[in-house]
Structure 1
Amino acid sequence: MKTLLNIIWLLLSGLWLAIGYVIAGIVCCLLVVTIPWGIASFRIASYALWPFGRTTVVRRDAGTGSLLGNVVWIVVAGIWLALAHITTGIALCLTIIGIPLGIANFKLVPVSLTPLGREIVPTDAPFATR
């Protein structure tokens, strides 16, 4: 079932959202100071491309640097990516088939706002990093 949902997700919204994250990552990597945000953006792009069967967990070893980095990320790219997830989620929820995909989009909003200090893990081991 995860594979079928991922294929439908890829066709309806995953590709476009992943492209948005890749563009944000490229922009962040062009500026040398923001390379950590670029790496986080590429990591989230892979998650946005194929989300079913994986989840995110907050890393306990993330400190003040992640907090400050997330504040900068929200201002630079996070708000726009979160709006893309909300818009796509609403559009997908207009159809019965798209409701699970829309809910998955809404679950990606916190990740798009605060990507630093999170880790992507398989759903069968969400507590592996805690």
Structure 2
Amino acid sequence: MLFYTFVSGLSWCLAGLLWSITIVGIPIGRQCFKFAQVSFFPFGKQIEYGGGTVSMLVNIIWLIVSGFPLALEHLASGAVLCVTIIGIPFGLQQFKLAKLALMPFGARIV
């Protein structure tokens, strides 16, 4: 179970590193590293969604470049984890992170 959270956290870190290669992508990379922390330790944290026009535009670019593969990874992990009773809480956290992977900008961790 911890394997899935570790792999998803590493995926967020990899996305952050790839985005940080360019100067324009550094703010997006920083956001990826914040969400990697949430992915490593998903329990006890809520995510509030909001944002404006800029967040929406960045979310569209994000979805095309990095969001869809990350969301599929979280959905697959969540489905595998929900097979067992012990894994259901971890699977639900992976589903929460899948939604975050689709629209991370304008989201706030509480």
TM-score > 0.5 by shorter chain: yes
Aligned residue among 53, 57, 75 for 2:48: 57
Read off the aligned partner of 1:37 and give its amino acid letter: I
**Other-structure match for 1:100:** 89
Query: What are the residue-to-residue correspondences of 1:78-89 with 2, within 5 Å?
Result: 78-89=67-78
Aligned residue among 36, 41, 50 for 2:32: 41
In structure 2, C-alpha distance between the alignment counterparts of 1:107 and 1:89, rounded to whole Å? 9
Q: State the SS of the aligned residue for 1:57.
A: strand
Read off the aligned partner of 1:55 and give its amino acid letter: Q
In structure 1, C-alpha distance between the alignment counterparts of 2:82 and 2:49, rounded to whole Å? 27
| CA shift for structure 1 position 13 | 1.4
Q: State the SS of the aligned residue for 2:46.
A: strand
Query: What are the residue-to-residue correspondences of 1:1-130 with 2, within 5 Å?
Result: 11-59=2-50, 62-121=51-110
In structure 2, C-alpha distance between the alignment counterparts of 1:117 and 1:107, rounded to whole Å? 15
**Count, aligned residues:** 110
User: What's the TM-score, normalizing by structure 2?
Assistant: 0.94
Q: Where do 4+ consecutive residues of structure 1 move more than 2 Å? A: none
Greater Rg over alpha carbons, structure: 1
Read off the aligned partner of 1:15 and give its amino acid letter: F
**Other-structure match for 1:4:** none
Q: State the SS of the aligned residue for 1:30.
A: coil
| CA shift for structure 1 position 96 | 1.4
* Structure 2 gap ranges (5+): none
| CA shift for structure 1 position 48 | 0.5
Comparing 99-108 with 83-92, greater Cα deviation is found at 99-108
* Structure 1 gap ranges (5+): 1-8, 122-130
Task: Report the identity percentage.
Answer: 38
User: What's the TM-score, normalizing by structure 1?
Assistant: 0.80
| CA shift for structure 1 position 12 | 3.0
